[in-house]
Amino acid sequence: MGGHHAYEKLTNCLKTVREKTDFTPKVAIVLGSGLGDYAEQIRVETELPYHEIAGFPVSTVPGHAGKFIFGYIDNIPVVCMKGRVHYYEGYDISDVVLPVRLMRMLGAEILFLTNAAGGVNNSFHAGDLMLIKDHLAMFAPNPLIGPNIEELGTRFPDMSAVYDRELQQIIKNKAAENGIYLQEGVYAQLTGPSYESPADVRALRMLGCDAVGMSTVVEAIAARHCGMRVCGISCISNLAAGMSAEPLNHKEVQEAADMAAPRFKKLVTESVKEF
Ligand code: HPA
């Protein structure tokens, strides 16, 4: 469901949010696995559970239950998404990116994406953080398919610099200043929900992929379409399939992400202060 319907849904969601808060965020932050308790870092003004917004996609994954958190990091007004929906849950791709578009309509100019990802680059280790320099979008459905929403952006948006150079530099500086080791690389979004096969992972590596996950790229595309500046960090929660002796399981992915959480939170917070 793209186009006019999607825009009508968005304006309805906007109306509901505006009945509850007049907060105008500058930065929108999507919290991936491992950043679930990030709200501790925020001077919270108000929270809004997703299920209170008619038409808003609500996650079905354990540990992803969702709400918007509105508040301040230092003096920067932010909106955080605690929990996001994934395409593999069965939502239409336009619903997967609805929250990003809604945050834009609330006033957010910058989108900070975070996720847990499998390391594809042979030099990565579980627990590493990776600055997203670029992405591979061709394995996920394009979120802009359908009639173009002219109110948001152009039909054929440029994607030659999805991840904002200036924001990347701030994140790199903050990592260095805080002694946080930061890898850099290309993130690929596959649909999931099954993890990759070892052959998938070898193919991704040959294509220039450094990390693989099930989110982020479609959100980045929708954000660029509607004129947001975008940046992102992956937490490498595991080496991708076939790279270690162990099979992958969601619980271990979650636990590894939790272990990296203190560094992850510090880097996000210190960076946003400079945005
Ligand atoms: N593959 C895909 N998505 C993931 C992985 C992975 O290995 N780890 C965390 N999210």
Rounded Cα distance, 51 and 4, in Å: 23
Cα 102 from chain centre: 14
Rounded Cα distance, 175 and 263, in Å: 9
Contact between 48 and 103 (Cβ < 8 Å): no
DSSP labels, 132-150: EEEEE-TTS--TT-SS--T
- Indicate whether residue 200 lines ligand 1 (CB < 6 A): no
5 C-alpha to ligand 1 centroid (Å): 32
At residue 109, what are phi and psi to the nearest 5 degrees? -105, -25
The CATH T-level fold of domain 3-274 is Rossmann fold (3.40.50)
Specify which residues 1 forms β-bridges with: none
195 C-alpha to ligand 1 centroid (Å): 6
Q: Running along the chain, 275 residues long, what does each successive block of 10 average in pLDDT?
A: 78 96 97 81 94 87 77 96 92 96 98 96 95 98 96 97 98 98 98 96 98 98 98 95 84 83 94 96
Positions annotated as catalytic residues are 33, 64, 86, 88-89, 116, 214-215, 238, 250
- Indicate whether residue 212 lines ligand 1 (CB < 6 A): yes
213 C-alpha to ligand 1 centroid (Å): 5
119 C-alpha to ligand 1 centroid (Å): 8
**What pLDDT, in 10s, does the model give residues 167-206?**
999 999 999 999 999 999 999 999 999 999 999 999 999 9
Query: What is the residue extent of each domain of the chain?
Result: 3-274
Six token digits for residue 215: 């989110």
- Indicate whether residue 195 lines ligand 1 (CB < 6 A): yes
Residue nearest to atom 2 of ligand 1 (CA): 213
